[in-house]
Amino acid sequence: MKDDRLDDLIDAHLNHAMDDDQRQELEDRLLNSSSARERFWVLAQTHALLHEGLQQDVSTIDHKPAVASRFARLKWPAFSTAAGIVLGLLFGMLTWAIASPGAVATESQLLTLVDGSFETLIGRLPSGFPRALGIWSGDEAETVRADSVRTKHGSQLLRFVRAEGDEAVPNSPATSCDVFQLVDLRGLSGTLGESEATLELSAWFLDARPIQGDSIRMSCRLFVFAGDHRSLHAQWPLVLKEALASGTDSFDSRGGTPQDWRSLTVKAVLPPNADFAVVQFVAGKSPTRQDKPSEFGEQYLDDVRLTVKTQPRLPVRHSQP
């Protein structure tokens, strides 16, 4: 029997038109119903084909492609906000990206970034660069419950509090408030095969100050390394030159309203010998400001996600002269 409500929710997701209540409803249904998950894949694939303007009869689409079947066999854990599962058991696990008829889908898998919506950590983050995998730490920052500002996901968010210098650089100037997490990539070893892989890091930032002249730069950074992560804290940021790959993006803000969230997304190639990634989020003094350090306390971070996206290595066609 056709479920019009489910179809409406899936359609809203595919067209980026969901509110928080719809998103939660769809996630709950997909977590608890294999038929709902199969319906999602059918509509998602059809949407991708139509989006590309392909004149293909959707009745010929294979409703159980290999990737979708593997997805259906996954054991879905019980949903728990307290466990720090960001919206993504569905949307971060696996998505289709179809570029041409007969193309093989791109697979996206949510990586083991811990507590990307800051729901489980209470209060002050551990100080300094992280010594272990899966721990948020850095300069003075804290998790706070939503009060005067609205979160992007869940009931808590991270607040940048105070700039500090770099541990490995004595007397370094305190120009930015930085938070980090080390993410284990070793579980991907042997699973990528002949695929080309890319890491994608995304996050939402908020500068809730009333609009004023002082500019603060908000940054999202991603670095990929091989080797032992345990000694990295003593060399950061001097060790950046040893990164296998990296990506960074930023924007300058002079404030706004408690609802003016802005997103940043960065990408980095994932080499087969990668062992771990460093994700870094920064609220810092804009390079255009040299007079005084920035003051923090109304800058926030939420809904951090890290995914690996893979696609088959396509044969190179050499053109004849």
280-289: pLDDT as tens digits: 999 998 766 5
Q: Looking at the predicted structure, is the pLDDT value of residue 139 above 60?
A: yes
Q: Looking at the predicted structure, is the pLDDT value of residue 210 above 50?
A: yes
Query: What is the structure's pLDDT at 282?
Result: 96
Which pLDDT band holds residue 88 (cuts at 50, 70, 90)?
very low
Residue ranges in the chain assigned as alpha helix (H): 4-14, 20-32, 34-51, 66-72
Query: What is the structure's pLDDT at 108?
Result: 64
Query: What is the structure's pLDDT at 247?
Result: 95
Whether cis (ω within 30° of 0) applies to the bond prior to 237 is yes
More confident residue, 226 or 51: 226
Largest separation between any pair of C-alpha atoms in the chain: 68
Q: Looking at the predicted structure, is the pLDDT value of residue 161 above 60?
A: yes
For the segment 143-150, the average pLDDT, to the nearest whole number, is 85
Q: Looking at the predicted structure, is the pLDDT value of residue 267 above 80?
A: yes
Which pLDDT band holds residue 294 (cuts at 50, 70, 90)?
low
Q: CA 11 → CA 45, 46, 105, 128, 153, distances in Å?
A: 12, 11, 20, 44, 21
More confident residue, 229 or 113: 229
Give, as one character, the DSSP assignment of residue 27: H
Which pLDDT band holds residue 192 (cuts at 50, 70, 90)?
low
Tell me the per-residue pLDDT of 12-66, one tens digit each, with 9 for 90 and over.
887 777 788 888 888 888 877 767 777 776 676 565 545 434 433 433 334 333 3
Query: What is the structure's pLDDT at 68?
Result: 33
Instruction: Report the relative pairing of strands 137-138 and 156-162 from DSSP bridges.
Output: unpaired
The residues of the chain that CATH labels 2.60.120.260 are 123-312
Count the Cβ atoms, other than its own, within 10 Å of residue 271.
13
The fourth-level CATH superfamily of domain 123-312 is: Galactose-binding domain-like (2.60.120.260)
Which pLDDT band holds residue 72 (cuts at 50, 70, 90)?
very low
Mean pLDDT of the chain: 76
